[in-house]
Amino acid sequence: MEEKPQEQAQQHAQEQAQQQAQEEAEAPAVEPDLLVTDPLATLQHVLEREVRRADRRRLELAEIRNALLQLGMGHERPTGEEEPPVWEPLVADVAPTMVQRLVETTEGTIRHCVVSLDAGPGTDEDIRDTAVARMGRGRPQRGIYPLNAWQHPDSRGLIEAFGHAGEVQRVTPEATSDFAIFGESAVMAVATWGDAGSNYVLIRHPMLVRVFIELFERLFALALPVPASGREVDPDLELLSLLGSGLKDEAIARYLGCSLRTVRRRVAVLMDRFGADTRFQLGMAVAESGALRPPRRADRQRQR
């Protein structure tokens, strides 16, 4: 029988107290030789010891906060036969450890949607290295990133690193929220929708996991390919595709990395070429011409 959250929290607190008491009893405050021979080394020794102690206490406090959240959920459930919670709250400090565990212990495609690359478990180097290694061994991964992250050099480097490792990627002018789906086993999402700095929830309920998968697939279908970087793209077809996706001129300018005036000038040139007086007429003319239609197999073979 599994232990209840209250019993787990109590046992954890007792173990931590015993461990801390034992360490403080065994460890001398300062090595005697350092007091006599080298005051600078003494200060460095004390500082390093206190930094280690502070790091340990920070992790312990994060675990205690998470246990308190679990306790709160346990009190809300009715007595009798207990069902597993629909989701489990997680404080931000323990999110990287949980993501690392999910990457290592689950199977299937990893799907993730990102609002910001400046916060969240994705900023952890160990998690990035593990994900890249898993992709190198054949695990599929798909990502949706905000367009402004692609335009920032540091964030762009991370996105390109995942792309080179095999991740299938899309960008979107308006990011939705942060969440990651690990196969069909679990979802980890921010507790406050759209807030990359909030705490997290871990979802294992099969129906909700399926809902997140469907949400991701719809967002992925509406998102845009990663902007061209060293690959040949027909600029007019690219612009027509962006117009057809419903993006505003400002978003298109950000995507293409050009000015708003340049976008509008190029649209005017296309309208003149297709004999259109309005953008609606341009869309109709492009649809009738089949300019955006995928090439047939025979055409693709001739192009090879």
Are residues 211 and 256 located together in one domain of the fold?
no
Which residue in this structure is represented by tokens 């054949």?
A: 138
| Count of other CB atoms within 10 angstroms of residue 171 | 21
Please provide the DSSP assignment of 39-101 as one string: HHHHHHHHHHHHHHHHHHHHHHHHHHHHHHHHHHHHHHSPSSSPPPPSEEEE-GGGHHHHHHH
| Residues 79 and 94 reside in one and the same domain | no
For residues 79 and 93, membership in a common domain is answered with no
Write out residues in the chain with pLDDT < 70, as ranges: 1-43, 45-46, 51, 54-84, 228-233, 291-304
Q: Is 298 contained in some domain?
A: no
Length of the chain: 304
Residue partners of 228: CB distance under 8 A and separation at least 6:
238
Q: Which two tokens stand for residue 85?
A: 């919670």
Total tally of structural domains belonging to the chain: 3
Question: Does one domain contain both 76 and 96?
Answer: no
Residues 152 and 202 in one domain: yes
Asked whether the whole model's pTM tops 0.75, one would answer no
125 in a structural domain: yes
Domain residue limits at 30? 5-83
Q: Is residue 191 part of a domain?
A: yes
Residue 302 placed within a domain = no
Indicate if 122 and 207 belong to the same structural domain. Answer: yes
What pLDDT sits at residue 19? Answer: 64
Q: Which two tokens stand for residue 259?
A: 């000015």
pLDDT of residue 297: 47
Residue partners of 201: CB distance under 8 A and separation at least 6: 87, 88, 89, 90, 188, 189, 190, 191
* Those residues with Cβ within 8 angstroms of residue 207's Cβ, 6 or more apart along the chain or in another chain: none
What is the predicted pLDDT for the residue at 301?
Answer: 46
Residues 189 and 283 in one domain: no
Backbone angles phi, psi at 170, to 5 degrees: -140, 160
Last residue of a domain, one of 167, 191, 225: 225
Same domain as 161, residue 250: no
| Pair (203, 283) in one structural domain | no
**What's the rounded Cα separation, in Å, for the pair 172 and 67?**
36
Question: Contact, 211 vs 111, CB < 8 A?
Answer: no
The DSSP line for 76-89 is HSPSSSPPPPSEEE
- Strand 110-113 relative to strand 141-146, pairing: parallel
- In this prediction, residue 61 carries a pLDDT of 62
**Strand-pair category, 200-203 with 87-90:** antiparallel
Residues 26 and 122 in one domain: no
Scored b (16 or more CB within 10 A) or e, 114-144 reads bbbbebbbbeeeebbeebbebbeeebebbbb
What pLDDT is stored for residue 15 in this prediction?
A: 64
Same-domain pairing of 169 and 93: yes
CATH number reported for the structural domain that contains residue 99 in this entry: 3.30.870.10
Q: What is the pLDDT of residue 185?
A: 93
Residue 144 has a pLDDT of 94
**In angstroms, rounded to a whole number, what is the distance separating the alpha carbons of residues 211 and 86?**
13
Residue at 301 is within a domain: no
Indicate the residue among 53, 83, 113 that finishes a domain: 83
Shared domain check, 52 and 70: yes
Kindly state whether residue 205 falls inside one of the protein's structural domains. yes
In a domain, 122, yes or no: yes
In a domain, 300, yes or no: no
Task: Assign residue 289 the CATH number of its domain.
Answer: 1.10.10.10
User: From the CB of residue 286, how many other CB atoms can be counted at a distance below 10 Å?
Assistant: 21
Chosen domain end from 31, 54, 83: 83
Q: What's the longest Cα–Cα distance across the chain?
A: 91
The CA distance from 145 to 169, in Å, is 8
